[in-house]
Structure 1
Amino acid sequence: MNLARILRHCFTGSLAVRRVFPDAVLIAIEQAISRTEVSHDGEILFAVEAALNTWPLLRDQSARERAIEAFAQLRVWDTEDNNGVLIYLLLADRDVEIVADRGISSKVDTEEWEKICREMEDAFRRGQFEPGVIAGIRAIGNHLQTHFPAERKGGENELSDRPVIL
């Protein structure tokens, strides 16, 4: 059990999320997702969570494990071509995880997803949350455009582009 991590999670609440992701930033993220989804048939969802609840924290749940839970909870897997991608940020840990459905994960190496995560985390360490998230969205969009170019008529949106605060 990591005492520093527990304290960080105890003192990171919803106000911290609102401080780094005010409404204007959430709107910019939503618009970035909308813009990139015009060029591909994939689906991107951004979710941020301030901190883990007590029990998962005491069990030392990793951000990756929580991201996988959120992927299921938010039904990112429920797209026609299995090409949904979740960008999950656990703010207390400043840890970004990308969970990609089987349709896209079979086409993009894990190292590519990890590279995007590290670049986002680097931006966050510099306090650049909005640019960091938008750069991550663009990078993911590039992969989706390569493997799932836009073909749907009417640009059907299977997942909301609006960021989710868990």
Structure 2
Amino acid sequence: MSPSIQQSPMDMMRIFRHLMTGQSTVKQTFPPATLTVIEQAIAQSETTHAGEIVFAVEASLDLSRLIKNQSVRDRAIDVFSLLRVWDTEYNNGMLIYVLLADHNIEIVADRGIHTKVDPATWEAICHTMKNAFSHKQFEQGVLAGIEQLTQILQEHFPAVADKKENTLPDKPVVL
């Protein structure tokens, strides 16, 4: 007989929150018009630098990930890999990952840009976005994050004349 897994009350609250947060939450928070605006902002941004930005939003984690107590950061890294954000010419792909059930945002930067920027910078961008989200300004929060990433990518990876086609899709990913 295997020992039972004991969950702390906080873990049980997280599980409950995830079970109660469905795809309808994504549609309310990021309706199609907002996703289109985000897509256009990413496309515009990528004309000004040699980087790639991907925006992904997920309503909640499935039960197996919750039982394993997967962190938002670990899930963001999984999504970074799943979406092949690392597959860019200059290793400068950027993922903005939003997990609605945990009210959390993570930025995952590929090694080409990660080594050039202090981790506190990513945290500050996430803080800016979270602040907007706390005021129900989801579109504005994402656009502010994209703008800040754009400035960083322009500094470290300015636009190049021979940039290949858009490596990663600009369209937001709803998981």
- Alignment TM-score, normalising by the size of structure 1: 0.97
Query: 1:19 maps to which residue?
Result: 28
Task: Render the CA deviation track for 1:81-139: whole Å, top value 9, x for unaligned.
Answer: 00000000001011000000000001111000010011111111111100000000000
- The alignment's TM-score, normalised by the length of structure 2, stands at 0.92
Match of 2:132 among 123, 137, 150: 123
Partners of 1:29 and 1:151 in 2: how far apart?
Answer: 23
Total equivalences in the alignment: 166
Q: How far apart are the structure 1 equivalents of 2:163 and 2:64?
A: 44
Identity among equivalent positions (%) equals: 55
Report if the CA contact (8 A) 1:41-1:152 is conserved.
no
Contact 2:76-2:108 at 8 Å conserved across structures: yes
Q: Work out which of the residue numbers 138, 153, 174 in structure 2 matches 1:165.
A: 174
Please identify runs of 4+ aligned residues in structure 1 that moved more than 4 A. Answer: none
Question: CA RMSD, aligned part only?
Answer: 1.0
Compute the displacement of 1:155 (Å). Answer: 6.1
Correspondence for 1:69: 78
Q: Secondary structure at the match of 1:149?
A: coil
Q: What does residue 14 of structure 2 align with?
A: 5
Q: Which amino acid aligns with 2:23?
A: S
Q: Among 17, 25, 36, which residue is 2:45 paired with?
A: 36
Gaps of 5+ in 1: none
Larger radius of gyration: 2
